[in-house]
Amino acid sequence: MTDDELETYYNSFADYEQKEAQVCNVIYETIHKSVFLQVKGQPTASKVIDKLIAIFEQKGQATIQETLNKLTNLQYVTNYGKTHRPRCFSQRDYRGG
């Protein structure tokens, strides 16, 4: 691997980690503290979402819908100053199906 390829790889990985942290931050700001304590050790945002789905499936539809409503109404600002909103609007969107 050349130095340029290695630098590109490190830059890509740093971008990935930053985006991963932003997604986790949005999730953590949305959920209740007791739920946060159950999911905080997950290694990736995808694993956090999987864990949340498992937790919320046990809690019932009202809890699921309340959290989805919070996520839908959240906004976050990127490093470039753009404001974004999450695009998932249902449980199925979070599961990827």
What is the residue extent of each domain of the chain? 3-95
Q: What is the DSSP letter of 40?
A: T
Q: Are 36 and 28 in contact (CB under 8 A)?
A: yes
Position with higher pLDDT, 37 vs 89: 37
Do residues 95 and 52 make contact, with C-beta atoms less than 8 angstroms apart? no
- Greater confidence, 3 or 65? 3
Residue, of 90 and 40, whose pLDDT is higher: 40
Residues in the chain: 97
Give the highest mean pLDDT range of 33-42, 56-65, 83-92. 33-42
Distance CA 90, CA 3 (A): 44
Query: Collapsing DSSP states into helix, strand and coil, what is residue 53?
Result: helix
